[in-house]
Amino acid sequence: EVQLVESGGGSVQPGGSLRLSCVVSGFDFGRENMNWVRQAPGKGLEWLSYIDKSSSNIFYANSVKGRFTISRDNSRNSVYLQMDNLRDEDTAVYFCAIGEGSSWFYSWGQGTLVTVSS
């Protein structure tokens, strides 16, 4: 059974940085793309970033381009989201999702909460 576990969330001041991790088990991680998605409190889903299986293709939403960096380590079955210059509006639950075949969003983690506040 596939399992995705996010970690690294917490409280940070505006302008600060955090690095989120997502570890995948029960799946052939190195063969699939990964995405990060967030959800602000009481709001809808927002796609943030995509990385393909070999890190050759990486895409970002306009809202985080230049501030967030996605990466992966296939030897550790992990994908990361480095978040810099955080703003109040980045407060959200952050989810990772793994693809499978032509589906970019096959399975999701339970999310990790990031709170940006002074």
> Which positions touch another protein (CB under 8 A)?
37, 44-47, 50, 59-62, 95, 97, 102-111
Least distance to another protein, CB of residue 78, Å = 18
Q: How far is the CB of 13 from another protein (least distance, A)?
A: 27
Q: Quick check: 7 and 21 in contact, CB under 8 A?
A: yes
Check if the beta carbon of residue 6 is closer than 8 Å to that of residue 95. Answer: yes
Q: How far is the CB of 28 from another protein (least distance, A)?
A: 16
Q: Which CB, 17 or 40, lies closer to another protein?
A: 40
CA–CA gap between residue 83 and residue 100 (Å, rounded) = 26
Specify the amino acid at residue 44. G
Nearer to another protein (CB atom), residue 16 or residue 71: 71
Q: Do 30 and 53 meet the contact criterion of CB atoms below 8 Å apart?
A: yes
